[in-house]
Amino acid sequence: MKQPLMITQAHIERYDVSGPRYTSYPTADRFVEAFDAAAYLKASEQRNISHWAQPLSVYVHIPFCASLCFYCACNKIVTKRYEQSEIYLNYLQRELALHLDQFAQAQVVNQLHLGGGTPTFLSDDALTRLIDMLKQAFVFSKEGEYAIEIDPRTVDEQRLQHLRQLGFNRLSFGVQDFDAAVQQAVHRVQPFAQVDTLMQQARVMGFQSINVDLIYGLPKQTPQTFRETISQVITLRPDRIALYGYAHLPSRFKPQRRILQEDLPNAVDKIQMLSEAIQQLIQAGYVYIGMDHFALPEDTLAIAKQQGRLHRNFQGYSTMADQDILALGVSAIGKMGASYSQNAKTLEEYYDFIDQGQLPIVRGLALSRDDLIRRAVIMAIMCHGELSYESIELSYMIQFNTYFQTELQQLVDKATQGLVVLEEDGLKVTDMGWYFVRAIAMVFDRYLQHDANRARFSKIL
């Protein structure tokens, strides 16, 4: 990526707007209650009829947290009652059995992700029980990616060793920021030395990939303090880095109401944080994967980008093909064929469905042909930063210039601003355009074209 980038105040003012992150298209806010468990079962049956042999990806949502982080927008339950996890595992096992009843043959799993909440809220015994449950249900590939999100405050060397013995080969450390004032402001205090020690221990144990999550735009952050956090992260040398922009939506997420608006950095400072972080990481040898992800050149994510095999799913950028996702747990989102589904968002409702012997799916979406076409376009932009019109035309039997005539006209303005290059046979996102890639993708989002209520999304910057 070439530097410097001539981002102007006009760019910042124009694109300090809300928009989707596009971990899926259509986005989850478009799911409808008309898509229920019965609709999901039809999608599962189609997998059986077609004898679809593609491995599954499994996502398990663990909603519990021992303490509240004020920035959090995840579905979580803050509690010190660790016995709740045993009850939850009972229901997870029953939900899993309901899913297994739908498959005609044993399913191969090559990707597992435990998210939350805080997955390491579970005790060692509870984690063992969960993994045993999954291994009895599926055939796990020896070459698979098995990841768990880590709150550094909840693990030590012994716990890391237990995770490795269970078969996890990837860790994601929730760091967010190392500045003491920022950590106090978001109610998540975890010293640099603690994370450093854990990461060194994890490397000795042979974890294949270690990710660090960071957030820019948090209260009390400044370009200077965040520059120091990035420098500290570089010394840790994680294999991957996810650098997210903070989404301040206090009307939707109650914990964020504890954050004072005047403590938040403005859009100018946020773009400086992002710009400088990108420069620091690239100079340190990281590959800019796109939007919010970085990886060392030898990491499989960087290799996938180089080879044009990058994908995007509900966990962000991925090396795995666009495969079905079996989602377990409260609020978990899955994908089966050309459909998305989401479980009940509260424990009470989730438990109630399973007590009735029903899958706890409360909403979802069966994708239309137009959805599939636009998804292909948006994911090409988000993953590869370029789009071949011919590839879409051949895959979906359309005339691209005709089908997307309005959208291409809208892109002319973004081309004038230096965000995208329009060519006769395709388009390319510029180096500067990567800062605003969500805005470029939004042009092709049919649901946003007549949507005046975008405030439910996070800010692009």
> 19-52: per-residue pLDDT in tens?
888 889 999 999 999 999 999 998 888 877 765 6
Q: What is the rounded CA–CA span in Å between residue 379 and residue 365? A: 18
Angle at 228 (CA atoms; ends 175, 214), nearest 5 degrees: 25
pLDDT (mean) for 253-275: 90
Beta-strand pair 77-78/139-150: unpaired
Amino acid in position 441: A
Residue 67 has pLDDT above 70, yes or no: yes
Binding positions for [4Fe-4S] cluster are 65, 69, 72
Q: CB–CB of 76/116 below 8 Å? A: yes
Cβ neighbors of 416 (< 8 A, separation 6 or more) are none
Q: CB–CB of 327/341 below 8 Å? A: yes
Binding positions are 59, 65, 69, 71-73, 116-118, 149, 176, 188, 213, 247, 333
pLDDT (mean) for 334-338: 92
pLDDT at res. 2: 45
Binding positions for S-adenosyl-L-methionine are 59, 71-73, 116-118, 149, 176, 188, 213, 247, 333
Task: Determine the distance from the C-alpha atom of residue 322 to the mean position of all C-alpha atoms in its chain, rounded to a whole number.
Answer: 14
- Name the residue with higher pLDDT: 190 or 436: 190
* Gyration radius from the chain CA atoms: 22
> 234-261: per-residue pLDDT in tens?
999 999 999 988 988 888 888 899 999 9
Domains parsed from the chain with CATH numbers: 25-328 (3.80.30.20), 368-450 (1.10.10.920)
Q: What is the rounded CA–CA span in Å between residue 431 and residue 437? A: 10
pLDDT at res. 21: 84
Residue 341 CB neighbour total at 10 angstroms: 27
Give 138-159 as a DSSP string: SEEEEEEEEEEEE-GGG--HHH
The token pair at 368 is 């239309």
pLDDT at res. 7: 63
Q: CB–CB of 166/128 below 8 Å? A: yes
Cα dihedral: 161, 165, 167, 172 (round 10): -10
Q: In which band, very low, low, confident or very high, does the pLDDT at 173 lie, cut at 50, 70 and 90?
A: very high
Q: Integer distance in angstroms from the first to the last C-alpha of the chain?
A: 19
pLDDT at res. 3: 44
